[in-house]
Structure 1
Amino acid sequence: MTGQPVRPLILRLCLPAVISNLVTTAYNLTDTYFIGRLGTAQSGAIGIAFSIMTVLQAIGFFFGNGTGNSMSRELGKRDNERAARLLAVGFCGSVTCGLAVAVLGLLTLRPLVLALGSTATIAPYAVAYLTPILVAAPMVCGSFSLNGMLRYQGQSAFGMIGLVSGALLNFALAPVFIFALGLGIFGAGLATAICQTVSFAILVTMSVRFGVVRLDPRRCRPDVLLCREIVGGGLPSLIRQSAGSVATTCVNIAANPFGDAAIAGMAIVMRVMQAVNSVLVGLGQGFQPVCGYNYGAALFARVKEGYWFCVRLATAVLLCIAVGVAALAPVIVEVFRSDPDVVAVGTLALRIQCCTVAFTGFNMISNSMQQTMGKTVVASFLALCRQGLFLAPIVLVLPGFIGLLGVQLAQSVSDVCTFLVTIPLQRRVLAELGPGNGRKLSIPRTIIRHLSGKHDTMAHSA
């Protein structure tokens, strides 16, 4: 981690992470595709359920990234014993919180889906889909957290195996449960729950047998300092994902007055953009262990080299994807639901978001770097900006002036606002690592130079 060339190392680590994220997204897209064959109300139920799934991911990412950030730094310092304790506490915490969500969610499920923006016609389908998923909530949270913990140890491939195995099973089970067994949307939820449980079992096995530090729940001995490290490292992820859940709910509420087709169309768009962002997130996840190990070892030049490489690569990849998605937007939406009203809503929203998605490369990689370095306040604030401080109020206010177009525009406006806020904050973080790459140049000009490959390779280490 601290001796190999930075760029090939990041690519080696990010490839399994990208595959894992794409496969996880394929879970959602599989359900969206098959459920879209059942009706518009059922498609809308997926958008409502997305809020709950985001909460479960938030818990998993909180413990996975919170534990993993500290683990990577401790491993960089050669303190494997403390890293093992962090692993045990993070794992037990994620499963316990997942159990709490399962109990509360099942007890309040119908009023909950109505509060999340469901219409009366969508609510029964949302309840049917979410019931088995909530039963499996401890395993869902545990899977996401263990994947993160393996990744921060430099074992991304093992995390990928766990997630891919469950996803492949989901591809087979979903159509059987939905159509062959006649279970409808409940069958889709049941297939997802079973597959997440299988992934959880595989990831536990991988962590026990193959981790750099082995998972042993008996080492779960939390203390104040250890818990503070986990909270500090995981808070940005928790805020980011929780804000995403709130934003999704706000999108559903804002689309509610425009009918089931509007909710269904925006649900499809959110799933498609999640697939696009999964590539970006995977790249950031490949960078984080490199950042953590080298920051812990005070090799700051390697941290900055990896950061700018990831910004360049993420921006270039997102631009290419955006062009393709914008060109094929009607076809993409129609794959999931052929209702003309749904296609019209989704096509315009997709094309608008493609215009600004490239900004998220700089935003996400910067946020990942801040989080891994332990810059909790800055990382948490930026994690909240995109989905919380900007998207949630924008999507609730803008439709009052321009109708449904306000719902479709909200995400892009939020992306631009977050980019503008990230620039000065990230410039300060880069300046703390030493001279060059961010001290004398403004961030926008630096980005342009790095995208063109004309950047300095100044070395600095403490």
Structure 2
Amino acid sequence: MRGKALKKNQVDWSVFFKAVVTIALPIALQNFLSTTASMVDTIMIGSQGELSVAAVGICSQISSLFFSCYFGFAGGSLLFFSQYWGAGNHKGINKTFGISMTCMLAVALIFAVTATTSPGFLLGIYTDKQNIIQVGIPYIRIVGFAYPLQVFAVLISFLMRSTERVKAPLISSILALITNFILNWILIYGRFGMPKMGAAGAAVGTLVSGIVNLIVLLTFLLRDKNTLVLKLREMFAWGDGFLKIYLNKCFPIICNELFYGIGQMLINVVIGRQNESAIAAMAAFRVLEGFVFAFFGGLADASSVVVGKEVGAGHHMKGYQYVKGFALLCPAITFCICAIGLTFNAPLLRLFGLGAEAMFYGKYMIMIYLAAGTIRTCNYIMNSCYRAGGESIFGTVLEIVCLFTISVPATWIAGMVLHLPFLAVFAFLYTDELIRLVFEVYYTRTGKWVKPVTEEGKAAVQQFREELAESRGLKKAVEN
């Protein structure tokens, strides 16, 4: 029996790299395409001048806050999806989808109503420059209608990724990107007799491309009857204490994302009080940062699927070893991408129509991110794996405490009190990452983040603890 257990937990690194190729790369490409859509908006609007770039950048910060408010439910759903998929529990996947969809749509409706009815109020939170606000109002008002579509599409994408169907989200992203590009070209510049709408035209492109994305995803989801079938009755069967279990696991993730979003909002308030060139440079940087996130975000999602599947099936040692593999691979890839971006910073930044001062800012922002982004990636991937393993508290507490005791105060004092140069203010955004890294590396090695929600996973926890302790010569400590 012992030999069989060891065999099932034996790590096959070929499986790890196969997951990287078959799951992570398509997800990364999908994220890349989503980021490209944002870049297309910013580049095309760049022809209208720095003011338009800055306005769209501020609107993107509002969308980022919206993302933080609903992503806690999406992240929680990924935990349950992956573990239930590993255990073959389709009913559990259905219930998770129903709860997550209800909560995420509620958040989307709140933001959609606010963005469409009070766009000036939202923009005024982030910047005090009325010329930027006036350009941004029509953009955010139109984009607000896309918010409910976005959460539904994200949830379906997460479901399909967790059940190892990564082609459909990739195809939907390609079609959405093409739609966005064509409509931007027509509406921003007023082609084919259409009115020249500027930033508002880009917003229409975003809205319509979101509709296309959702339609394609739904088509793939409903046509595939072999992998998993969503059943309305099971989606809302939240009895047997499942709702409590779901909320217990999701609540820390929701708090993590919500407070992280609030922290980033406070930081963005500081950025929004800088000069217009700095705001425009920040808008361009956020798009370039999105490309980095596209790759390591894809790896993070893949790690969640792979680790969650192993933990859910009771193969904890495999999941433990895979976490260490991802924690080394992701920062290495991030460093390489940032190094390439730094090498070609001038042609990249020129795409956004930036002036000389904004170009100067952009170059050194990429240089700072070369170090900070690499560390940040390592922290992000480990926290994603904790969640996939069932532990959602440690990473949440660590991230929020560090954010609000280090990064936010440091950035606020630098920008609002001391009025330091913009690049100095920017550098303070990442002051908490190194401290988090020390704690997360230690916690990853302990294996205490393995806390399965499936019966198969729970039954194998004690054996995993013993194997881990034995591998370190700490068996007596565990027994005590």
TM-score, L = length of structure 1? 0.87
* CA spacing shift, 1:75–1:397, aligned 2, 3 Å: same
- Give the counterpart of 1:125 among 132, 135, 149: 135
Cα deviation, residue 245, structure 1: 3.7
- Rounded to whole Å, the distance in 2 between the matches of 1:217 and 1:33 is 42
Cα deviation, residue 375, structure 1: 0.7
Say whether residues 1:342 and 2:358 are aligned partners: yes
* Unaligned residue ranges in structure 2 (runs of 5+): 1-7, 451-463, 474-480
Taking the TM superposition and a 5 Å limit, the aligned residue runs for 1:52-451 are 52-58=62-68, 61-180=71-190, 181=194, 182-210=196-224, 212-221=227-236, 223=238, 225-235=241-251, 238-239=254-255, 241-243=257-259, 245-384=261-400, 390-399=406-415, 400-401=417-418, 402-429=420-447, 433-434=464-465, 435=467
- Rounded to whole Å, the distance in 2 between the matches of 1:51 and 1:112 is 10
Say which SS state the counterpart of residue 398 (structure 1) adopts. helix
- Rounded to whole Å, the distance in 1 between the matches of 2:185 and 2:74 is 31
Cα deviation, residue 222, structure 1: 5.1
* CA spacing shift, 1:248–1:208, aligned 2, 3 Å: same
Deviations 1:293-321 (A, max 9, x none): 11011101210232122122212211211
Q: In 2, are the aligned partners of 1:315 and 1:358 still within 8 Å (CA)?
A: yes
Say which SS state the counterpart of residue 356 (structure 1) adopts. helix
Deviations 1:377-411 (A, max 9, x none): 11322453575554333321223443323322023
* CA spacing shift, 1:71–1:311, aligned 2, 3 Å: same
- Rounded to whole Å, the distance in 2 between the matches of 1:234 and 1:165 is 32
* CA spacing shift, 1:215–1:205, aligned 2, 3 Å: farther
Alignment partner, residue 22 of structure 2: 12
* CA spacing shift, 1:404–1:188, aligned 2, 3 Å: same
Cα deviation, residue 345, structure 1: 1.8
Alignment partner, residue 477 of structure 2: none
- Rounded to whole Å, the distance in 2 between the matches of 1:161 and 1:138 is 21
Say which SS state the counterpart of residue 432 (structure 2) adopts. helix
Q: In 2, are the aligned partners of 1:56 and 1:140 still within 8 Å (CA)?
A: no
- Rounded to whole Å, the distance in 2 between the matches of 1:440 and 1:319 is 31
* CA spacing shift, 1:178–1:17, aligned 2, 3 Å: same
Query: How many residues end up aligned between the 2 structures?
Result: 441
Cα deviation, residue 184, structure 1: 0.5
* CA spacing shift, 1:305–1:267, aligned 2, 3 Å: same
* CA spacing shift, 1:417–1:83, aligned 2, 3 Å: same
* Unaligned residue ranges in structure 1 (runs of 5+): 442-462
Deviations 1:12-62 (A, max 9, x none): 111111011111111111111111111212111122112222234335533
Cα deviation, residue 226, structure 1: 2.9
* CA spacing shift, 1:316–1:256, aligned 2, 3 Å: closer
* CA spacing shift, 1:121–1:114, aligned 2, 3 Å: same
Q: In 2, are the aligned partners of 1:54 and 1:241 still within 8 Å (CA)?
A: no
Q: In 1, are the aligned partners of 2:146 and 2:206 still within 8 Å (CA)?
A: no
Cα deviation, residue 239, structure 1: 4.4
Counterpart code for 1:189: A
Q: Which has the larger radius of gyration?
A: 2
* CA spacing shift, 1:14–1:68, aligned 2, 3 Å: same
- Rounded to whole Å, the distance in 1 between the matches of 2:41 and 2:403 is 24
Structure 1 stretch 248-257 or stretch 318-327: which is displaced more? 248-257
- Rounded to whole Å, the distance in 2 between the matches of 1:297 and 1:380 is 25
Cα deviation, residue 376, structure 1: 1.7
Structure 1 stretch 304-313 or stretch 120-129: which is displaced more? 304-313
- Rounded to whole Å, the distance in 2 between the matches of 1:227 and 1:375 is 17
Alignment partner, residue 453 of structure 1: none
Cα deviation, residue 436, structure 1: 5.3
Q: In 1, are the aligned partners of 2:408 and 2:429 still within 8 Å (CA)?
A: no
Q: CA RMSD in A?
A: 2.7
* CA spacing shift, 1:395–1:55, aligned 2, 3 Å: same
Deviations 1:185-241 (A, max 9, x none): 000011001101111111122222227322344543253733344444544654454
* CA spacing shift, 1:132–1:338, aligned 2, 3 Å: same
- Rounded to whole Å, the distance in 2 between the matches of 1:240 and 1:297 is 27
- Rounded to whole Å, the distance in 2 between the matches of 1:203 and 1:387 is 35
TM-score, L = length of structure 2? 0.84
Say which SS state the counterpart of residue 214 (structure 1) adopts. coil
Identity of aligned residues (%): 17
- Rounded to whole Å, the distance in 1 between the matches of 2:155 and 2:185 is 28
Say which SS state the counterpart of residue 317 (structure 1) adopts. helix
